[in-house]
Amino acid sequence: MSAPIEKTPTLDDVALMAGVSTATVSRFINNPEVVAKGTAERISSAIAATGYIPNLLAGGLASSKSKMVAVLIPYLTDSIFNDTIQTMVEELSAAGTTVMLGLTGVSEKRTEDLIRAALSRRVDAIIFTGPVTPQVDAMVRRSPALFIQVWDLPEDPIGMAVGFSHHAAGRDIARFLMSRGYRRPHVVTAEGARANMRRAGFVEEWQSTGHEPPSESTVKVPSSFGHARRIFAEIRRLPETPDVVVCGSDYLAQGVIVEALAAGLRVPEDIAVVGFGNSSIAGEMRPTITSVEVDGARIAREAIAAIRKHRPHQPPAERWVDVGFRLVARESA
């Protein structure tokens, strides 16, 4: 004699027990103030008694809003998007919106599959970081969901963009290093459009002032701690040792510092290091890491605000939100 499988209670069960119609229960759940006080209490105790949990699949189908947003990033570990994701998930969950997480890696196929999956779930918005393929473009344009590209400001965003100019960031790093008198930078660039824009900004500015072009290395994304050994080895093999290393993330910068110190060099005296992202470690490392602060949490909040305002199939109120960036000079450069 096994216990009978008790089916999960539905709106009907609650309505029956409270002696009202399902419509009223539905109203109570979505808009409590429109039902009379006494009714509200009966419903609310019926919900407690039955242990009712609304079925958002059904609700979403009927109302054609899913209260769900997709967040698509390349990686989770050593990712400069971490603050953005953390804030995003926290604030959305608090507001009753579910976050669907997708990791695109660097694969276009995976990206497309994830977008399709998101659209299948009829998400209210898609937060995206990465290159937009024509297929993605096509799928996204016909959907009512708001498409938000973050951490970048493309010229012609599909929906809206919340980010900053990577080109300008690269340029400002170059200016900063010049102002500090550095002469031979080494630039480490990860694959990917954003990293390349920073690189371009840096190199253009650097050369425009008559300097020799910097030496360069590349790494696979993400720019993580683990790449530091190889990068540092490459640097040491250079005919002329650079006096500053420009990294694509604070994690990589941290790694380079560790390697330099282990090799007996002083940072920044013998070799300086610049990071990117102003991750929590930047201010805690010894030496503390000079970095470019990007307000990842604000990116998240701006995106969320836009989602709140958004009406299906409508273009967003503003197409670009520039959150800027700020160079934080610390000990490492």
Partner DNA sequence: TCCGCAAAAGAGAGCGATTGCATTGTCGGC
Partner DNA sequence: GCCGACAATGCAATCGCTCTCTTTTGCGGA
290 is written with which tokens? 């000079």
Least gap, CB of 110 to DNA (angstroms): 22
Which residues form the interface with its own copies (CB under 8 A)?
5-6, 8, 51, 53-58, 60-61, 66, 68, 71, 75-78, 82-83, 85-86, 89-90, 93-94, 96, 98-103, 105, 110, 113-114, 116-117, 119-122, 138-139, 142-144, 224-226, 228-229, 255, 258-259, 261-262, 280-281, 284-286, 313
Q: How far apart are CA 294 and CA 151, in angstroms?
A: 9
**Could you give phi then psi for residue 123, rounded to 5 degrees?**
-60, 150
Task: Report the partner that residue 286 touches, choosing among DNA, its own copies, none (CB closer than 5 to 8 A by kind).
Answer: its own copies
Provide the greatest CA pair distance for the chain: 87
If you ran DSSP here, which 8-state letter would residue 277 be given?
B
Task: Choose, by CB under 7 A, the member of 54, 154, 226, 283 that binds DNA.
Answer: 54
Q: Quick one: which of 2, 64, 179, 209 contacts DNA (CB under 7 A)?
A: 64
CB-wise, 110 or 184, nearer to its own copies? 110
Q: Which long-range contacts (CB under 8 A, 24 or more apart) does 117-123 make?
A: 117/70, 118/70, 118/72, 118/145, 119/143, 119/145, 121/66, 121/68, 121/70, 122/60, 122/64, 122/65, 122/66, 122/68, 123/66, 123/68, 123/69, 123/70
Q: Which does 12 bind (CB under 5 to 8 A by kind): DNA, its own copies, none?
A: DNA
Does 39 bind DNA (CB under 7 A)? Our answer is yes
> Which one of residues 45, 55, 77, 107 is an interface residue with DNA (CB under 7 A)?
55
- 29 contributes a contact to DNA by CB under 7 A: yes
Binding flag, residue 48, DNA (CB under 7 A): no
Contacts of 82 (CB under 8 A, 6+ apart): 76, 279, 296
By the rule CB under 7 A, 310 interacts with DNA: no
In angstroms, what is the minimal distance from the CB of 124 to DNA? 13
Between 57 and 329, CB nearer to its own copies? 57
Q: What share of the chain is helix, strand, coil (3-state, %, to 5)?
A: 45, 15, 40
Residue type, 276: F
In angstroms, give the least distance from the CB of 54 to DNA.
Answer: 4
Q: Report H helices in 146-192.
A: 166-179
What letter does residue 314 receive in the DSSP assignment?
S
Q: Which residue ranges make up the site for DNA (CB under 7 A)?
A: 7-8, 10-12, 19-24, 26-27, 29-30, 34-36, 38-39, 52, 54-55, 58-59, 61-65
